[in-house]
Structure formats: C-alpha cells, structure tokens
C-alpha cells in the first residue's frame, strides 16, 4: 500500500475548486467500481463549500451512484440547525440537496438546538461511527476525507496547542473556548482523520502559505495540526498559487 504526500498547485481558487471536483468525481466512480459503498467526510469553509458547488455544477455529477455514498463531517459549529454558519446547512445547499443521496446516508453532527449537551452530542456521533463500522472495526472505512487548513494550521476543529490535537482515545470530542468563533464545536480526532484512506486538504489564499509551508517542513502537530494528518494511502494538498508560496519546489507534483 502506497502512502504519499503531494502538493497540487492551481492558478486560483476557482480553478482549484473545479479541479478538485473533477478529481473527486473520477475517484468516486473508481471506488464504487471496487467497493459496494463509499464514505466521504466533508469539511466547511469557503473553499470546501466551493468544491461541493463545483461537483454539483459538473456535467459528470451523476456518473456517481450517490445512493451508495454516505456523508460524514469532520467538525461542526455548535449552532442551531438552521444557522447559516452550520457546515451541514452549507453542504446541503451546495450539493446534498441536489443529488440522489439516501437521507439515511447523511450523518450530520448534532446541532445546538437538538436537546443535547455538547458532550452528549460528541458521544452520540461516536456511537454512530461505531454502529456503522464494518464488523470487527471501530470506524467506517473513510474513502475520502476533505479538510480545510486555517491560517494557524488547524484542521477540523483541532487547534494549535489545544487538547484536541493530542487526543488519542476518543473518536469525537467537544471543543470549548475555540480560538476561532463560535467558541463551542464538535470535531473528529486525529486518529479518526488518519484512518481515512485518502486525505484531501484543500486551501487557498496567501494567509495559508505559512501554515502549509510549516506543515510540509516537519513542524510538530501541536504547533501546526495539519502536520499531524496523513491518510493511510495518500495525502494530497490541493492549493492555489498564493497558498503554495512557501512550499518547497521538490514537493510540488507535476500537473496532471
């Protein structure tokens, strides 16, 4: 089994979103040719949602048998389900409401108005992950996990020097006093993200260049959480030219 890290650079955010969307559609068709089902972990953020919009806009969108795909989230803001800042709502509006996905295959994290505490919501999602894992496994087989990367290097809601990035036992954690609003969040943990076959980090903008450069230069996961994330088979950083400003030339993959 190969395990690669590579950086694919695109001209701008629009080209980035379109390229990732096309690559996702092709890869999902390949996966579903080999497997009966697939699991995808979604992310929020402007670039992550732009990718979902580009998938929806693609003429090849429905070459994927969406009825065999399940969706999860890497993290979620602890806001009401109807809140415009909720990752679930943004993903539904960008893609999920427009495809033939089975409702029972969409697995959002609980919202703040669901009648649960933050800790109860984390425990509930952890149980859902375990309940839908293959026999003998603790987690579903995540085929593709999308992640954004913050200017501080955070991924999901795992922030620099926070307890979350050091968590090795729990699969889902509650996050309080987040350095990025809102203060309360839910997040998958690093071991869960690293259980994914493929991790696709998608980021754009000059404000991400330093974090990306540090992550690829071997910074500690405590300092730059993105540095501690690696898919089982492959880890790809899809970036625009601005975000790639501090990436060593030898790490940039040729155009594909």
Burial 92-119 (b: 16+ CB within 10 A, else e): bebbbebeebeeebbbbbbbbeeeeebe
Give residue 184's pLDDT. Answer: 98
Task: Tell me the H-state helices in the chain.
Answer: 13-34, 46-57, 87-94, 118-131, 163-166, 190-194, 209-216
Inform me whether the pLDDT recorded for 187 exceeds 80. Answer: yes
pLDDT band per the 50, 70, 90 thresholds, residue 256: very low
CA distance 164 to 157: 8
Phi, psi of 76 (to 5 degrees): -155, 145
The predicted model gives 187-192 an average pLDDT of 98
Inform me whether the pLDDT recorded for 157 exceeds 60. Answer: yes
* Domains parsed from the chain with CATH numbers: 4-251 (3.40.50.1360)
8 Å CB contact between 68 and 103: no
Sequence-distant (6+) residues with CB within 8 A of 104 are none
Query: Residue 163 has which token pair?
Result: 């307890």
The predicted model gives 70-99 an average pLDDT of 98
Query: Across the chain, what does the average pLDDT equal?
Result: 95
CA distance 47 to 14: 9
The predicted model gives 1-21 an average pLDDT of 87
The predicted model gives 126-148 an average pLDDT of 96
User: Element (H or E) spanning 14, and its range?
Assistant: helix 13-34
The predicted model gives 93-104 an average pLDDT of 98
Give residue 1's pLDDT. Answer: 42
The predicted model gives 114-137 an average pLDDT of 97
Give the CA distances from residue 169 to residues 12, 82, 176, 200, 254, in Å, rounded to whole numbers and listed in that order.
39, 31, 18, 23, 38
The predicted model gives 84-102 an average pLDDT of 98
Tell me the whole-structure pTM to 2 decimals: 0.96
Residue with tokens 């996966």: 31
Tell me the pLDDT tens digit for each residue of 198-254: 999 999 999 999 999 999 998 999 999 999 999 999 999 999 999 999 998 888 887
Phi, psi of 73 (to 5 degrees): -125, 140
> Distance from CA of residue 56 to its chain's centroid?
17
The predicted model gives 42-62 an average pLDDT of 98
Inform me whether the pLDDT recorded for 108 exceeds 60. Answer: yes
8 Å CB contact between 32 and 63: no
Give residue 4's pLDDT. Answer: 65
User: Element (H or E) spanning 173, and its range?
Assistant: strand 172-175
CA distance 156 to 148: 7
Give residue 253's pLDDT. Answer: 80
Q: Which residues pair with 155 in a beta bridge?
A: 158
Work out whether strand 4-10 and strand 75-77 pair parallel, antiparallel, or are unpaired: unpaired
Using CB atoms within 10 Å of the CB of residue 156, give its burial: 0 to 12 exposed, 13 to 18 middle, 19+ buried: buried
């Amino acid at each position: 089994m190969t395990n690669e890290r590579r950086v694919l650079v695109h001209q701008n955010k629009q080209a980035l979103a379109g390229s990732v969307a096309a690559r996702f559609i092709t890869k999902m068709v390949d996966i579903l040719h080999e497997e009966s089902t697939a699991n995808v972990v979604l992310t929020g953020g402007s670039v992550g949602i732009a990718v979902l919009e580009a998938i929806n806009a693609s003429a090849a969108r429905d070459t994927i048998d969406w009825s065999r795909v399940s969706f999860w989230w890497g993290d979620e803001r602890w806001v009401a389900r109807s809140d415009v800042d909720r990752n679930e709502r943004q993903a539904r509006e960008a893609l999920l409401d427009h495809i033939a996905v089975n409702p029972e295959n969409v697995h959002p994290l609980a919202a703040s108005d669901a009648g649960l505490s933050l800790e109860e919501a984390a425990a509930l999602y952890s149980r859902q992950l375990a309940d839908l894992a293959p026999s003998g496994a603790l987690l579903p087989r995540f085929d593709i996990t999308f992640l954004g990367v913050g200017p501080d290097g955070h991924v999901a809601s795992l922030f620099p020097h926070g307890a979350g990035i050091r968590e090795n036992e729990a699969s889902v954690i509650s996050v309080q006093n987040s350095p990025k609003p809102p203060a309360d969040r839910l997040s998958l943990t690093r071991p869960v993200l690293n259980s994914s076959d493929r991790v696709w980090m998608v980021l754009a903008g000059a404000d991400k260049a330093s974090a990306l450069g540090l992550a690829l230069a071997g910074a500690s996961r405590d300092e730059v959480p993105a540095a501690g994330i690696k898919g089982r088979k492959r880890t790809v950083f899809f970036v625009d030219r601005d975000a790639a400003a501090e990436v060593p030339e030898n790490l940039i993959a040729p155009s594909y």
